Chains A and B, each alone.
Chain A
Amino acid sequence: MTRIRNSAALAVLGAVAAGPAAAQSIDETINKAFADYTGWYVSFIFAPVPGTNFSWIALWLVVAALIFTFYFSFIQLKGFGHSIALVKGDYSDPDDAGEVSHFQALATALSGTVGLGNIAGVAVAVGIGGPGATFWMILAGLFGMATKFTECTLGVKYRNEYPDGHVSGGPMYYITKGFKERGIPGGKVLAVIFCIFTILGALGGGNMFQANQAHAQLANVIGDYPGWITGVILAGVTFIVIVGGIKSIARVTEKVVPFMGIFYVGVSLVILLMNYDMILWAFGQIFLGAFTGLGVAGGFTGALIQGFRRAAFSNEAGIGSAAIAHSAVKTREPVTEGYVALLEPFIDTVVICTMTALVIVITGVMQVDPETGLYMWDSEAGRIMTEGDVTGVALTSSAFATVFSWFPLMLAIAVVLFAFSTMISWSYYGLKAWTYLFGESKGSEVTFKVIFCLFIVIGAAASLGPVIDFSDAMLFSMAIVNIVGLYLLMPIVRAELAHYVSRLKSGEIKRFKH
């Protein structure tokens, strides 16, 4: 890691001195070094289950989501109405006004997850796995709601509360305290491993992937230029916010991002309404593709793997990050945070990701062989051929541009803002893991924040392949540890839930608004 950092620093200095031509080759150097150092681990994480081509890590997440769904008797369906009531404030005691509301908790957690995963991630999934990937993505989103419920309930139950009122929570805390409570050994070790993965995940998916895609979109609109320039600018602004403590920038972003999200969904809806006669056909493609692949090389498993991978990357269910976010909320009932959190995969994956996928499918930017009706496969690139030979965020951008030519510019602004807000959120998750390991001193916090900013430059300069793979690998590594913890602690959540539901039925937990 140190060597990469040094080379990045040298790269920036060198490029400034030598001009654009040298900078391009420096981008390549960073990229190669990146791939060399992380490739082996990425291969391990995405290794297939022996005898199949289904990656074991996708199976790990899906099985967990299914187990939680059955263990909590389809809480995502049965509890959906109650979740909405909580967010509407029907159960909020007026005397608690001034505390973080359920709506605010949900909005803040969503601003960390809604972003590039919904724009670029879906395009990658559909580009490689075909429209069928969307079906599996929706399914993974629906089951993932139970996983989020479990982890966020635990996050609140076992957080640390300090005398000055601030709180720290997340998987590292529930694994340590919960294991101890249940007499299970190894909690501390697992918590440390989780923290290491979280730090790397924060630097990967929460940072480099964001910087990378922000640059890709800017280059797509402005014209190609070296990635490190975007990296240095983004790193500078992030540095001012997280190290300099200029919260006004973060506050402005946090306030603009939800409107960007609403705008994005709004434009998608307009495109869908303009092509309303194709919506049924698009769902047909999604459903057919889910089981046949529609000419995609990996067939139905290809669609399934891509769908599950990108769903997890987008809504972060099982990763543990949401547990860190929600545990900061002051609430008397841990289960209520679980209920609220289960809406996140629904909004993020089932609603927003599906919109992106539908727009990509309907606008026809993926090329279809007119004779067979199947998608044309580019075996060299390992994905479906697209107009302009693009992938990731550029694919979404070109899909929207077929209807609104001005959209790429708006999307570029949205992507940069989404990327920035996700980075700020992940700098918080990473910092919580870092301070769990190294203590909550000012010096240790600043060290992490500086490292975080350096990785933005690396992320923006590297090409999509190695960055996206490493980002996924780190996030999924967090899920390995977190889900082990969730399995061992799920009886506690079940007891909490039963206690809560019985008080809800008896009227002990009051509804304030009717």
Chain B
Amino acid sequence: MPKEIFVVAYEGEDDKDSLLTYALERAAKDDSALHILHVLEWSPYSFLTQEEVEERHGRRKQEISRAREVILEPALAAAAAAGITASGDIRYGQVVEIIAETATRLEASMIFVGRSGSNSITSRVFGSVPLGLAQIAPVPTVIVP
């Protein structure tokens, strides 16, 4: 039985070498489990065209299955190969909020997040995921460079 749960805010390919490797090492050292979480940014208040409304349900299915195949499953396989107990989830919503809410729900003891993407102009203006977590994370958060 693992001692603790760490939530990994996993964006995919960019996080694979740095974030995932680090999270696996820490989990092995502390005899803890990982919850690998991939969040697809989504606002229920954005505006859609009539065609986008019609296609949304089908597109959501595609997005989830793609994220599962390309992002989540390889990460879970890497965890299994390293002998780490890991679960995973794909969610829609506001990324920072969902990560914080998941950490609370699972009573996780730490959040790991990659620094990827935080150099873009958008993230400098509107704030990146690590910056958002710094403000609202319910548990200690490690930003992996």
B1 at the interface (CB under 8 A from A): no
Whether B47 and A89, one on each chain, are in contact in the complex, defined by CB atoms closer than 8 angstroms, is no
B-facing mask of A249-268, CB < 8 A → 1, else 0? 01100110010000000000
Number of residues in A with C-beta < 8 Å to the partner?
Answer: 32
A-facing mask of B49-63, CB < 8 A → 1, else 0? 111111111111101
CA distance A506 to B57 in the complex (A): 29
Q: Which of B3-11, B37-45, B119-127 contacts A (4 or more CB under 8 A)?
A: B37-45
Whether B50 and A425, one on each chain, are in contact in the complex, defined by CB atoms closer than 8 angstroms, is yes
- Chain A residues with CB under 8 Å of B44's CB are 89, 92, 97, 101, 103-104
CB distance from A421 to the nearest CB of B (A): 9
Q: Which of A107-115, A144-152, A277-285 contacts B (4 or more CB under 8 A)?
A: A107-115
- Chain B residues with CB under 8 Å of A157's CB are none
CB distance from A316 to the nearest CB of B (A): 14
Question: Of B47, B55, B63, which contacts A166 at CB under 8 A?
Answer: B55
CB distance from A255 to the nearest CB of B (A): 5
B135 at the interface (CB under 8 A from A): no
- Say what secondary structure dominates the interface of chain A: helix
Q: With A104-B44, A111-B47, A258-B47 as given contacts, are A94 and B57 in contact (CB-CB < 8 Å)?
A: no
A498 at the interface (CB under 8 A from B): no
Q: With A98-B63, A98-B92, A103-B45 as given contacts, are A165 and B55 in contact (CB-CB < 8 Å)?
A: yes
- Say what secondary structure dominates the interface of chain B: helix
User: Contact size class for B?
Assistant: 20 to 34
Knowing that A97-B44, A99-B57 touch, tell me 9 more A-B residue pairs with CB under 8 angstroms.
A97-B42, A97-B91, A108-B48, A108-B53, A165-B57, A250-B49, A251-B49, A325-B53, A428-B51
Ordered nearest first, which 3 A-B pairs have the shortest CB separation? A165-B58, A98-B92, A101-B44
25 example contacts (A-B, Cβ-Cβ < 8 A) are as follows: A89-B44, A97-B42, A97-B93, A98-B60, A99-B57, A101-B44, A101-B45, A103-B44, A104-B44, A104-B46, A107-B48, A108-B48, A108-B49, A112-B50, A165-B61, A166-B54, A166-B57, A167-B54, A247-B49, A254-B48, A255-B47, A325-B50, A329-B53, A330-B56, A425-B50
B residues engaging A (CB < 8 A)?
Answer: 40, 42, 44-61, 63-64, 91-93
A residues engaging B (CB < 8 A)?
Answer: 89, 92, 94, 97-101, 103-105, 107-108, 111-112, 164-167, 247, 250-251, 254-255, 258, 325, 328-330, 424-425, 428
